[in-house]
Amino acid sequence: MNESPLQTARYEYQPKTPDVLRDNVMIRVGEPTESIADRQEIQRAFPNTYGSPLVYFEKSAIKIDYPQINVGVILSGGQAPGGHNVIAGLFDSLKKLNSNNRLYGFLGGPGGLIEHQYKELTANIIDAYRNTGGFDIIGSGRTKLETEEQFESGLRICEKLNIKAIVIIGGDDSNTNACILAEYYMQKGSDVQIIGCPKTIDGDLKNEMIETSFGFDTACKVYSELIGNIQRDAGSARKYWHFIRLMGRSASHITLECSLLCQPNITIVSEEVEAKNFTLNDIVEDIAVVIAKRADAGLNFGTILIPEGLLEFISAIKKLIAELNDLLADNNEILNLNTNDQKYDFITKILSEENKKTFFSLPKAIALQLSLDRDSHGNVQVSLIETEKLLIEMVGKRLEQMKSEGKYKGKFSSVNHFFGYEGRCASPSNFDADYCYSLGVTASLLVVAGKTGYMASIKNLTAHASKWLAGGVPITMMFNMEKKSGKLKPVIQKALVNLDGEPFKFLQTNRELWASAEDTFVYPGAIQYFGPSEVCDKPTRTLLLESR
């Protein structure tokens, strides 16, 4: 395989780690925990893992001789930069704790555990993937762990391979499944432990113990480079409005971070839309007004950032989606329909009158996209909904009206973009390479400490990596009850953009200037891997503003 000089340099990069993880460690146990909401329901669902204490790792002068163990690892869900380094950190630490320890990778995600597809991960394999993007070392998948048959199948392969712990690297849904699995094995009297690691480029897996999920930093830097390039082109051509949709199904963290890095003319934040009860027409009007004001100044160009989950935060559309979710969960008949026209007609017959009006108000293509099959967790597949094209169509019509009213004198030409896969498998930034490696080491220490139903936690992330703090948080601490596929289920509560937080306040303070001025675009450029630490290793603007 031919390799670029960059690939070679990334293989050789040595991740920086917290001082506390470098030598001998001891565990400090904190106070018992409670779930973030719905405490009685969560405790009933997780009687064995609920209420576990926070744990912290500290330096120790005592070296412990740990017995030999075998550990399994799973990559679950969508890709995120740095996953390979979690596995590398896990492997290196296990070998450091006991050179006879063995690590098995289950292939293709949770399905590999159920179907007994695996391979042992050796030093030769691990070394080929250090500091690289993607999940191709063992592959990933979206199989949901939810049935007793699946749990028992996983237990059988663990017994066969003498695996004492499984580390599941995934997002909120994957870590929810990890906790369900941990609870089941405890109920069965099995000693197989389950440890999670926080992964998602969307950035919505965060709380007081999980300051950020891995991959968010790298993905935002990749998208921001592309946005910066587009802004340079917009300022050069001076004739196009670029509508840019960014990943983020349940929260607008990526859109906000990219806005802080690039300073586009318009940034839509879904959480603000919901808080202010904006309609789709309100959003269109706000965009049209900015475009008209810039046209008055001779600036018929600009950039607009749009979170991909926007439609789910508009009240009327949110109600429509909720009803569609229930209808699709209960009506298998629609799955047997062959054409989109048949599906459209079927849905219009069974919708409530209120939601039928919303359904008919949308372009047919968008209405159908809202009605597409759900993912394995019952969620709308928002990455398939072309919100940027919907806004272009509606803004264009509004500007034509404004022109007839004498309120718009410019020329509206648009270009649409969706940035998704471009950021999921990039070579991790130094921050993500360091963070992920430390998460892997922390996961190994939670394993040898005998913990289960925990997620690895690294804190103090705005400090130098040597000053980071490591520990574990019980997954049940992050739970609340949410409706999934028509039923209330325990899930990790998603972290939305905090409208009272410093990152959003910074956007608010500068929004008017960025909308109207000509020279406020920022061109962040490619991810910097080599150079001064203050350039290469700095975390996201979001983390820096939150730490004020």
Reading the block at residue 181, the tokens are: 């699995």
Which of 359-368, 423-432, 465-474, 490-499 shows the lowest mean pLDDT across its residues? 359-368
d(CA 54, CA 32): 7
Q: Distance between CA 218 and CA 214 in Å, rounded?
A: 8
Percentage of residues of the chain with pLDDT beyond 90: 84
Strands 241-246 and 487-492 come out as unpaired
- Alpha-helix runs per DSSP H in 297-429: 315-330, 340-350, 353-361, 364-370, 387-404, 421-424
Tell me how far apart the alpha carbons of residues 151 and 182 are, in angstroms, rounded to a whole number: 10
The length of the chain, given as a count of residues:
548
Give 415: exposed, middle or buried? Use CB within 10 Å, 0-12, 13-18, 19+. Answer: middle
Q: Which residues are catalytic?
A: 202
CA dihedral (60, 63, 68, 73) in degrees, to 10, reads: 30
Work out the pLDDT band at 373, boundaries 50, 70, 90. low
Model confidence over 305-361: pLDDT tens digits? 999 999 989 999 889 888 887 777 766 676 677 787 888 888 888 899 999 999 888
- CA dist 434 and 288 (Å) reads 43
- Contact, 101 vs 126, CB < 8 A? no
Query: 384: Cβ–Cβ under 8 A, 6 or more apart, which residues?
Result: 369, 372
Q: Which two tokens stand for residue 144?
A: 């949901």
Q: How far is CA 466 from the centre of its chain?
A: 25
Rounded CA gap, 480 and 233, in Å?
A: 45
**What is the sign of the dihedral through the CA atoms of 494, 543, 270 and 428?**
negative
| Better-predicted residue by pLDDT, 375 or 40 | 40
Q: How far apart are the first and last CA of the chain?
A: 46
pLDDT per position as a tens digit, 452-473: 999 999 999 999 999 999 999 9
Other beta carbons within 10 Å of 357: 12
pLDDT tens column, 131-147: 999 999 999 999 998 89
pTM (two decimals): 0.93
Q: Is pLDDT larger for residue 327 or for residue 186?
A: 186
pLDDT band at 382 (very low <50, low <70, confident <90, very high): low
Q: Which two tokens stand for residue 255?
A: 């859109």
pLDDT digits (tens, 9 = 90+) for 84-120: 999 999 999 999 999 999 999 999 999 999 999 999 9
Domains and CATH numbers, the chain: 26-215+428-479 (3.40.50.450), 217-420+500-541 (3.40.50.460)
Instruction: Round to whole Å and give the CA distance between 343 and 323.
Output: 15
Higher local confidence (pLDDT), 80 or 351: 80
* CA distances (Å), origin 532, targets 388, 528, 529, 536: 38, 9, 9, 6
Task: Give me the amino acid identity at 510.
Answer: N
Q: Measured on CA atoms in the order 252, 254, 259, 265, is the torsion positive or negative? A: negative
Q: Given a cut of 90, is residue 194 above it in pLDDT? A: yes
Strand partners, 396: none
Over residues 197-248, the pLDDT tens digits come to 999 999 999 999 999 999 999 999 999 999 999 999 999 999 999 999 999 9
Beta strands in 171-263, from DSSP E residues, in sequence order: 193-198, 241-246
The pLDDT of residue 336 is: 72
The number of beta carbons lying within 10 Å of the beta carbon of residue 405 is 8
- The mean pLDDT of the chain is 94
Residue 192 · residue 166 · CB < 8 Å:
yes
Phi, psi of 100 (to 5 degrees): -90, -5
**Residue 390 phi/psi, 5° resolution?**
-60, -45
pLDDT band, very low/low/confident/very high, at 378 (cuts 50, 70, 90): low
Backbone phi, then psi, for 194, in 5-degree steps?
Answer: -125, 125
Lowest mean pLDDT among 246-255, 285-294, 321-330, 497-506: 321-330
Q: What is the mean pLDDT of residues 368-391?
A: 74
pLDDT for position 348: 86
Q: Select the more confidently predicted residue: 434 or 377.
A: 434
Spatial separation of the C-alpha atoms in residues 423 and 215, rounded to whole Å: 9
298 sits in the region (left: phi over 0; alpha: psi -120 to 50; else beta) called left
The 10 Å Cβ neighbour count of residue 311 is 24
Model confidence at 123: pLDDT above 70: yes
Measured in degrees and rounded to the nearest 5, phi and psi for residue 239 equal -150, 5
